[in-house]
Amino acid sequence: MKNKKRWRRYEILLPLLFNDKRPVPRKLLIETIRELRDRFAAVSSETQVINGRWLRGRRAFRDDLIRVYVDAEETPATRKFFADFKQKTKKRFQQTEMWLTSHPIDVH
């Protein structure tokens, strides 16, 4: 039986506003999406705005975000790439935190 590859979907929520409420330049979003496309040969993004609401202590925050995702072979190198990518993206978008998740997927 042929060894089947294992796949994961990596999703990152990219902010449309910096923490100080200035709009994120479209160029930063495009660069980030292009970087993923160049690394994995494919990337998808949703154009609807995701409204995030969260609390830190008693202070309420609001985020406007877009979801970007990549389906990639599950390897240690891919996992390391996304760990590093999250840190780089936090700096790029001047965020105190970024939400990057992954989960296994079946590709048929």
pLDDT, one tens digit per residue, over 86-106 is 999 999 999 988 999 999 998
Note whether residue 2 is domain-resident: no
- Helical (H) or strand (E) element with 9: strand 7-15
pLDDT, one tens digit per residue, over 73-91 is 999 999 999 999 999 999 9
CATH number of the domain that residue 14 is part of: 3.30.70.120
Note whether residue 108 is domain-resident: no
> Mean of the per-residue pLDDT values for the chain?
93
Average pLDDT over residues 4-14: 94
Note whether residue 106 is domain-resident: no
pLDDT confidence tier of residue 29, bands split at 50, 70 and 90: very high
**What is the number of structural domains in the chain?**
1
Note whether residue 1 is domain-resident: no
Handedness of CA 32, 47, 75, 41 (dihedral sign): negative
**How far apart are the C-alpha atoms of 35 and 21, rounded to whole Å?**
25
Average pLDDT over residues 60-74: 94
Note whether residue 15 is domain-resident: yes
Q: What is the dihedral of CA 84, 87, 92, 96, to 10 degrees?
A: 170
Parent domain of 82: 7-100
